[in-house]
Amino acid sequence: MASTFRIHCRASDDLGLAIVGGEPVLTKANGRDDRQDLTYGAGVTDEAGSPAFALVNKATGEALKHSLGHGHPVRAVRLHLAGYVDESVLWAESEEDLGDGFRRVHMLNNMDYIFDAEEAIIPDLGGARDGTRLILFR
């Protein structure tokens, strides 16, 4: 049975990951918003041995898919279980605790690419806030 969990933003306790209008963004955390529920899945590991998971939105059935590369937005796609492992929707957590239990989430097949809030890596844009897009960062 898959576990349901929420991804929160380290920059602000008030922000969490959601899929809104088909796009993964940070939004004001709301325990009653099904768009913010995600589910663990898969049975494979990354090169460090961390378990893989798919981030599937409970309300929409959409999964977070790797972007096209550094600086590009992470995408939301309809998850189709086709009898094979689609690594493009699999992620893993880093072993390193960044403080207060926060860990980086990286692509399963390339630990160098993590997803992060777009404005978090470009301070001139104002930092993480409601509506901030998620991108792959290297």
Average pLDDT over residues 29-41: 59
pLDDT tens, residue by residue, 116-129? 888 765 667 677 78
In terms of residue numbers, what domain contains 100?
Answer: 3-137
Spatial CB neighbours of 92, under 8 Å, sequence gap ≥ 6: 45, 46, 48, 50, 51, 52, 53, 105, 106, 108, 111
As for how many domains the chain has, the answer is 1
pLDDT band (50, 70, 90) for residue 100: confident
Q: Which residue has the tokens 């980086």?
A: 104
Amino acid at 6: R
CA distance 64 to 19: 9
**Any idea what the CATH number is for the domain that residue 38 is in?**
2.80.10.50
Determine if the pTM surpasses 0.75. no
What distances in angstroms separate CA 43 from CA 40, 46, 49, 71, 87, one per listed residue? 10, 10, 11, 28, 11
Q: 5 pLDDT exceeds 60? A: no
To the nearest whole number, what is the mean pLDDT of the chain? 78
